[in-house]
Structures are given as structure tokens and as C-alpha cells.
Amino acid sequence: MRVHILREECENGKLMLLLRVEIEINSLHRYGLGELERRILDFILDNDEVTQSELSQLFGRAKACRAIKNLENMGLVKRERKGRTYVVRVV
């Protein structure tokens, strides 16, 4: 894992840091990812960003939604609303 400080500033006596964290795919076993979550994360990495509806078509709606929420809770992906679906990107 590599951490880069992109910006730092002091505000109201608090130090605010904007960090970029790089995690190697091989070290993700520490997060306890399941097989489906790994496959979805690999697919997102290969395509830079995908819509949640694309993932639903490939992996099934309920499974994809559950896996994306788990990945989002771990801080590995970010979902942004786009029309009637979400765009999913690796953080």
C-alpha cells in the first residue's frame, strides 16, 4: 500500500489532509473480499468506470448491488448517481 499526500491545510486548528491511497490487488485479501467482489473489482479496474446496471446484467442484480455496497463500505469504490443508475469507480 502506498499513501500520497495530495494537499494539506490547517483549518480552525485542525490539520486537513487529502490522501491518495494505492492498494495492490494482491493485498486485497486482507479486506476479506469474496470471489464475486474480487471479480467485480477486477471488472471495474479493467474498464475505469462502469454503470451499476452493466454490473447487474453481468453478475445479477441483487448480487451486484450487495457486492458494490460492500466494496463501497470498505472504501474501495465510489458510486455516483447518473440518471437512473449509478456510475461505479475505484477510489
pLDDT digits (tens, 9 = 90+) for 38-83: 899 889 988 988 999 999 999 999 999 999 999 998 888 999 998 8
> Domain limits at 8?
2-90
**Can you give the CATH number for the domain in which 67 is found?**
1.10.10.10
Q: Which residue has the higher pLDDT, 15 or 24?
A: 15
What per-residue confidence (pLDDT) applies to 89? 92
pTM, full prediction? 0.65
Beta strand 14-22 with 77-82 is unpaired
Q: Which residue has the higher pLDDT, 50 or 3?
A: 50
Which residue blocks in 1-91 are alpha helix, DSSP H?
35-47, 52-59, 61-73
More confident residue, 33 or 21: 33
Number of domains comprising the chain: 1
